[in-house]
Structure 1
Amino acid sequence: MNYPDTYYARTLAERRERAALSGSVDCDTVIIGAGLAGLTTALQLARGGQKVVVLEAKSVGFGASGRNGGFVSGGYSTGHEQIAGRCGATAADRLYQLSLEGVQFVRETIAALGIAGTDPIDGVTSVLRYDDGESLRGYAEATNRAHGQNLTYLDTQAVRTVLKSQRYFHAVRDPRAFHIHPLNYLRGLATEIERLGGIIYENSAASTTELSGTEKQVRTSDGMVRARTVVFSTGGYTTGLNAKLKQAFLPIATYVMVSEEAPDLIASAIATRDGIGDNRRAGDYYRLVDGGKRLLWGGRITTRAASTAGIVDELRREMTGTYPQLAGLKTEIAWSGLMSYARHLMPQIGEMQPGVWHCTAFGGHGLNTTAIGGKVVAEGILGQSDRYKQFQPFGLVWAGGMAGLAVAQLTYWKLQAQDWWRERAA
């Protein structure tokens, strides 16, 4: 199998390899990219009776979908107010509800398919690193009223009972959010797609396309797929196959590390199985894995290739700055991966031209948003709904190329500085 060395690749529940495309194949829809968006689209199309083919350049879940933190919780990378500013309050509320539907879709899919090794753990807690409990309590109450959620506000004493750090003051816990082993989830989706008659070709990078006619063609080095519909669902590893798509988002690297087995040491700092994310605009996230024996810690972004070892040193300083008691906790494995970010910090979902769809730019949104993106695209192709149009205000705008990457890196450094100042001014 063609995977980078990650904790998830080391702990796969099954390791079946899939053949590369050879020769010509006909289908209803061909999907380029076997990440979460592509596989969810394929699953829903197969459930709707279509014959689907998925082309994957490497292996199922090779990219960000199979390397991320594994969080499944509502919302988007950008804030609700920013979304409302672009498309209006009512539309923003509908989009938020879609993200919550994505959470439920992932949960129900794991249960319905009995996907081995996903290890879903309920609860995601968002912590505040400065003392402003009233604002956070108000946010939880307003969100519960507006969206029927069950967020719980935690005061400083409650937070520090389970997160033994002087860095944290207040928190909001979402009991309906959860975290999983993302790569095992993806491989479970792939197995179900194949059970329903779909075909997934690995090591089959799309090299050229012909999209102008009623019959679309996608070629690989050794074969060709003919279909009525094409879906582009690639992310940070997108090539120049579709110039309009590639120009519309930026590849951003993020970093994750997993500790050695040390359950007692970890428990001296973290007494919860919740996934944890801090409120900083340039924050970190972490959760216990391997039954609580190891700690997964992620964060930091770069817009150019960086030394994973160097970034991990930064992550470790952040971890031990938050939890001094974990200074002796060794890192066993670390990795990086490319996510795709649009300039407007929202997913890019829709129909580029008749019969040609895109479902991309899910960096920072979580597994739930990627899943609901695939679901609404499938609904659009099947003629079941036009809910994909809710994402029309967030189109394939040019991301700025190299200049956009530079601006993104400068923005990240600015956010880090603002976070630092806010914590010290509180």
Structure 2
Amino acid sequence: MAYPDTYYKRTMADQTARPALSGTVECDVAIVGGGLAGLSAALQLARAGRSVTVLEAESVGFGASGRNGGFVSPGYATGGEEIARIAGKEKARQLHLLSVEGVDFVRDNIRTLGIADARPVPGIMSVLRYDDGASLKAYAQEVQREYGYELEYMDRDAVRAVLKSERYFQALRNPNAFHMHPLNYLRGIAREIERLGGRICEQSPVTATDLGGAEKRLATAGGAVKARDVLFTTGGYTGPLNGRLKRAFLPIATYVMVSEEAPELIASAIATTDAIGDNRRAGDYYRVIDDGRRVLWGGRITTHAASTAGLVKELRAEMVGTYPQLAGLRTELAWSGLMSYARHLMPQIGRMSPGVWYCTAFGGHGLNTTAIGGKVIAEGILGTSERHRLYEPFGLVWAGGLAGLAVAQLTYWKLQAQDWWRERAA
């Protein structure tokens, strides 16, 4: 299957197609899934001198890793208080520091590997849609005290000077965070893995596994891989092959649209190169791309296959409700993608059995957390650290199947309603 028609596909710098697996290959580590988690792990393993084979059912970055908003900023999909409640305060602190490290890990790879096509742009703003500057100032002070990095507070006038919308009040700007072209980044990482001797096989879905012995075996239509360790990083596109993994998260769809070229019109509404996310629990995220000539706008989730055209109408309503001056801005392209969400809203990273590892459920966590997940699971496989064990409190709990999907959709609608009432009260 070819890449879906996304902005990232249309602007993909490296068109390399990799052959499917053929014959039997032996290696140290076999990785199932060629998204950001799998490739980050493969990169670290290859850097350590391990032989690695990545089996990707479609193409590198085919899933959510290659068609998301492109945000790289610290944090998780759930709040720090909830993480501390489950894992304890100190582990929550260490987990947050890992997400901070993930930002630096991605940035360092772009710089040291010369992935200019990733087009990193500094700055991400988190904007309030109701008036509560005191809470933002308090949070910025807490982050400075606990983690030693600065978030820039912006009052209402400063926010509205760059975001010409009456919907917005105060904001926190993270100058260390950035946004980028995720698919070009992934393909740059893939090139480096291959330069280090790793093998990446596209169009190679795994059809059978034998994971019981010291030597694991993965079969595809064209061949087989024998390895001492196997890592599953398949995310929202996980099939029934690994039932325990598939049952542990929900596939959730999200939607993105890109506008036509209209730089002057866009600048009349959005006068910043920062990426923007609002504070709603069911919020939107967006950024200008192509040097300000287009807007990429994402949001909405569904727990079933929905009409992308129908969801784009909702996204457009959000955009125009925020920026009435963009009512005439046409949508040129739209797409959706499946993310994986665990019931506890945290990544699932760890060891399933001797030599069998998993690194998944990164929906809503950002590219930084997905990347650091791949890095720490590689450290676990190498035996150089046990940092992956920080995620043990958030294991492979059953996500609830069809009932879980129904609850997730109802929860999303509830959050939307709560957001609406809170903004109306403001």
Q: Does the TM-score normalized on the shorter chain lie above 0.5? A: yes
- 2:80 corresponding residue in structure 1: 80
- Structure 2 Cα separation of the partners of residues 14 and 184 of structure 1: 7
DSSP 3-state at the match of 1:90? helix
- Structure 1 Cα separation of the partners of residues 6 and 135 of structure 2: 38
Task: Give runs of aligned pairs for residues 271-310 of structure 1, distance below 5 A.
Answer: 271-310=271-310
| 1:328-387: CA deviation from partner (whole Å, max 9, x where unpaired) | 101000000000000000000000000000000000000000000000001011111000
- 1:181 corresponding residue in structure 2: 181
- CA offset at residue 150 of structure 1? 1.1
One-letter amino acid of the structure 2 residue matched with residue 232 of structure 1: F
DSSP 3-state at the match of 2:349? strand
- CA offset at residue 141 of structure 1? 1.1
Structure 1 unpaired stretches of 5+: none
| 1:74-112: CA deviation from partner (whole Å, max 9, x where unpaired) | 000000000000011111000000000000000000000
- 2:213 corresponding residue in structure 1: 213
8 Å Cα contact 1:13-1:116 kept in structure 2: no
TM superposition score normalised by structure 1: 1.00
Task: Give runs of aligned pairs for residues 12-411 of structure 1, distance below 5 A.
Answer: 12-411=12-411
8 Å Cα contact 1:124-1:274 kept in structure 2: yes
- Structure 2 Cα separation of the partners of residues 97 and 292 of structure 1: 32
- Structure 2 Cα separation of the partners of residues 324 and 137 of structure 1: 29
Identity fraction in percent:
71
- Structure 2 Cα separation of the partners of residues 2 and 334 of structure 1: 16
One-letter amino acid of the structure 1 residue matched with residue 241 of structure 2: L
DSSP 3-state at the match of 1:291? coil
| 1:222-281: CA deviation from partner (whole Å, max 9, x where unpaired) | 110000000000010100111100000000000000001111100000000000000000
- Structure 1 Cα separation of the partners of residues 323 and 116 of structure 2: 33
DSSP 3-state at the match of 2:264? helix
Structure 2 unpaired stretches of 5+: none
8 Å Cα contact 1:376-1:388 kept in structure 2: yes
CA RMSD of aligned residues (A): 0.6
DSSP 3-state at the match of 2:235? coil
- CA offset at residue 308 of structure 1? 0.1
- Structure 1 Cα separation of the partners of residues 291 and 361 of structure 2: 32
8 Å Cα contact 1:340-1:362 kept in structure 2: yes
8 Å Cα contact 1:261-1:294 kept in structure 2: yes
- CA offset at residue 73 of structure 1? 0.1
- Structure 2 Cα separation of the partners of residues 148 and 258 of structure 1: 36
- Structure 2 Cα separation of the partners of residues 108 and 115 of structure 1: 10
**Range moving further from structure 2, 132-141 or 43-52:** 132-141
- Structure 1 Cα separation of the partners of residues 348 and 251 of structure 2: 14
- CA offset at residue 116 of structure 1? 3.3
Aligned length: 426
- Structure 2 Cα separation of the partners of residues 307 and 154 of structure 1: 37
- Structure 1 Cα separation of the partners of residues 145 and 256 of structure 2: 35
8 Å Cα contact 1:116-1:188 kept in structure 2: no
DSSP 3-state at the match of 1:255? strand
One-letter amino acid of the structure 2 residue matched with residue 98 of structure 1: L
- Structure 2 Cα separation of the partners of residues 117 and 313 of structure 1: 31
8 Å Cα contact 1:263-1:293 kept in structure 2: yes
| 1:49-83: CA deviation from partner (whole Å, max 9, x where unpaired) | 00000000000000000000000000000000000
| 1:394-421: CA deviation from partner (whole Å, max 9, x where unpaired) | 0000000000000000000000000000
DSSP 3-state at the match of 1:161? helix
One-letter amino acid of the structure 2 residue matched with residue 330 of structure 1: R
- Structure 1 Cα separation of the partners of residues 87 and 57 of structure 2: 35
- Structure 2 Cα separation of the partners of residues 2 and 378 of structure 1: 29
- 2:423 corresponding residue in structure 1: 423
- Structure 2 Cα separation of the partners of residues 68 and 424 of structure 1: 30
8 Å Cα contact 1:73-1:368 kept in structure 2: yes
Moved over 3 A (4+): none
TM superposition score normalised by structure 2: 1.00
- Structure 1 Cα separation of the partners of residues 180 and 99 of structure 2: 17
- CA offset at residue 316 of structure 1? 0.2
**Range moving further from structure 2, 145-154 or 339-348:** 145-154
- Structure 2 Cα separation of the partners of residues 19 and 7 of structure 1: 24
One-letter amino acid of the structure 2 residue matched with residue 33 of structure 1: G
